[in-house]
Amino acid sequence: MRVDALALAELRERTSEKWREYPDDVLPLFVAETDFPLAPTVTAALEKAVRSGDTGYVASRTPLASAYAGFAGRRFGWTPDPARMRSTADVSMGIVEIQRRVIRPGERVVVNPPVYPPFFDLVTEAGGVVERVPLRDTGEGWELDLDGIATALAAGARAILLCNPHNPTGTVHSAGSLAALARLAEDHGAAVISDEIHAPLAQPDAAFTPFLASGGAAGRIGYAVVSASKAFNLAGLKCALMVAASDETHAVLRGLPVEVEWRTGQFGLLAAVAAFSPESDAWLDGLLVTLDENRRLLQALLAQHLPEAHYRMPDAGYLGWVDLSGLGWGSNPAKQILRQARVALHYGPAFGAEGAGHVRVNFGTSPEILTEAVERIAAAREKISAPASILPGAE
Ligand SMILES: Cc1ncc(COP(=O)(O)O)c(C=O)c1O
C-alpha cells in the first residue's frame, strides 16, 4: 500500500497548529504533525463513533492495552503484559505523572540534549531539576553518553528521561546502550522513563529496541510511554499508554490518581485501538516506505542546493536534524529562513545549546512540498546571509 501526502490546497483546509500558526505564503515544516491522510482503519473507527455519538468518557475496560501488546509483538518482537499498562491523555502527561511518583521535588532528572524542547519543561512541571547530559556525536551518529549519565547519577540524579527513538536526531539507541543505561540506573536506585512515541516509525533496518525489552534491569526500573499519535497523526485526539514491566513499577502506575486515566480522549482511544490493530500494518509499512524516500530526498536536496549543510538521515520518524553552521547563518537560522524564504522550520536552539546553528525539518510531507521548501531556502540564501542589521524588519 502506498501512502502519499495530501496536496497543499487540501492541507490548507486543516485547522491544526501546523496550518494556522503562519500565513498561507509560509510552507510549514516545523511542528511534528504529518501531511498524510488518516489510515483507513482509523477513519472507519472514528466515522463509526461519530455516527453513533460514541463520544462519552473512555470505559474503564478497553482493548487498548491488548492492542498495543499485539502491535509491539508484531513490530518489535516484544509482548508487554496488558495488565501492566494505564492510559492517559498524551505522552507528555504520562511523563509528568510518572516523574511525580519516582522523584521528590528538587531532585535531578537527566535529559540528553539536543532533545525535544518540552522535555525541559516536563521535568520542571513535575518538580524536578533538569540535568543535561548531551548526546555524544560519534562522527557517524549519536549515542547516549553513558559515562556522563553515570556521573550525574553518582551526583544524585534520580531519573533519566530517555527519548527512544530520539527527537530531533532520529537516533534509535542500540540494545546494548539501553541495557547498560538500565544497569546504571538500577545500581544508583534511579528510574528510566522512556518516551517511545516515535517507535512505530523506526525504519525496518534500524533494529529498534523498546527500552523495557532491553534486559532484566530495564524491566525492574523502567517505564515506557507510548502512543499511536506520531505515526498515525492523532495528536489532537489525546491518548497515550504508560507501560510497566514489573510488579514494582506497575504498583507505581497503579498509584497514579484515577483522573490521570480519565483524561484519555475517547476518540484518541478508539483511533489508537484501530491504529495498533493488525489491519493497520500494511498502511504503516507503506508510510515507512514514503518516509524512507523522504529522508533520502532531503539528503539529495541539501546536497544539491545547500552543500554546506550537514545532515545525517534519521533511523526513525519524519524529522531531519540539519546543521547549517557551515553557512554562517547565526545561532538560530530558522528565524531568518522564515523571514526571507517563507519556510517555517523548528528552531535549533530550542533543543538545547547543542542546537545552535541547527534547524529541524519535518519531512512528513509530499516530495513537492519538501523540494519547494529547500529550493526556497536556497533561492533566499543571499538575503538570509545578509547581516541582520541591514534587513527590513530584522529584530
Ligand atoms: C519525543 C516526543 N515526545 C512527546 C511528544 C508530544 O506527545 P504528546 O502530544 O502525546 O504529549 C512529541 C511530539 O512531537 C515528541 O516528539
Q: Does 113 sit behind a cis peptide bond, omega within 30 degrees of 0 on the bond before it?
A: no
Residue after which a domain boundary falls, among 230, 260, 277: 277
Quick one: pLDDT at residue 393?
A: 44
The answer on 319 and 350 residing in a single domain is yes
Residues of the chain with pLDDT under 70: 387-395
Quick one: pLDDT at residue 386?
A: 76
For residue 212, the SS3 value is: helix
The answer on 297 and 371 residing in a single domain is yes
Tell me how far CA of residue 251 lies from CA of 77, 161, 168, 172, 207, in angstroms: 25, 20, 32, 29, 30
How many CB atoms are located within 10 Å of the residue 379 CB? 13
Going from the Cα of 364 to the center of ligand 1, the distance in angstroms, rounded, reads: 15
φ, ψ dihedrals at 278, nearest 5°: -60, -25
Going from the Cα of 389 to the center of ligand 1, the distance in angstroms, rounded, reads: 36
Going from the Cα of 305 to the center of ligand 1, the distance in angstroms, rounded, reads: 31
User: DSSP letters of 175-194?
Assistant: HHHHHHHHHHHHHTT-EEEE
The answer on 293 and 250 residing in a single domain is no
User: Does 197 sit in the ligand 1 pocket, CB within 6 Å?
Assistant: yes
The answer on 156 and 105 residing in a single domain is yes
Residue after which a domain boundary falls, among 248, 277, 306: 277
The answer on 233 and 171 residing in a single domain is yes
User: Does 227 sit in the ligand 1 pocket, CB within 6 Å?
Assistant: yes
**CATH number for the domain that contains residue 336:** 3.90.1150.10
Q: Answer whether residue 2 is part of any domain.
A: no
Rounded Cα–Cα distance for residues 383 and 364 (Å): 27
User: Does 91 sit in the ligand 1 pocket, CB within 6 Å?
Assistant: yes
User: Does 240 sit in the ligand 1 pocket, CB within 6 Å?
Assistant: yes
Lookup result for grid cell 524564504 = 341
Rounded Cα–Cα distance for residues 223 and 191 (Å): 8
Q: Into how many domains does the chain fold?
A: 2
User: Does 131 sit in the ligand 1 pocket, CB within 6 Å?
Assistant: no
Going from the Cα of 154 to the center of ligand 1, the distance in angstroms, rounded, reads: 29
Tell me how far CA of residue 374 lies from CA of 62, 86, 142, 359, 391, in angstroms: 44, 42, 25, 12, 21
What's the CA angle centered on 269, arms 67 and 314, to 5 degrees? 70
Q: From atom 13 of ligand 1, which residue's Cα is the shortest distance away? A: 32
Q: Answer whether residue 3 is part of any domain.
A: no
The answer on 159 and 96 residing in a single domain is yes
- Domain containing residue 385: 8-37+281-390
The answer on 270 and 173 residing in a single domain is yes
Backbone dihedral region for residue 348 (phi beyond 0: left; psi -120 to 50: alpha; all else: beta): alpha
The answer on 208 and 339 residing in a single domain is no
User: Does 224 sit in the ligand 1 pocket, CB within 6 Å?
Assistant: no
Q: Answer whether residue 313 is part of any domain.
A: yes
User: Does 332 sit in the ligand 1 pocket, CB within 6 Å?
Assistant: no
Going from the Cα of 26 to the center of ligand 1, the distance in angstroms, rounded, reads: 24
pTM over 0.95: yes
Q: Answer whether residue 173 is part of any domain.
A: yes
Residue after which a domain boundary falls, among 277, 306, 321: 277
pLDDT in tens, 163-205: 999 999 999 999 999 999 999 999 999 999 999 999 999 999 9
Q: Answer whether residue 254 is part of any domain.
A: yes
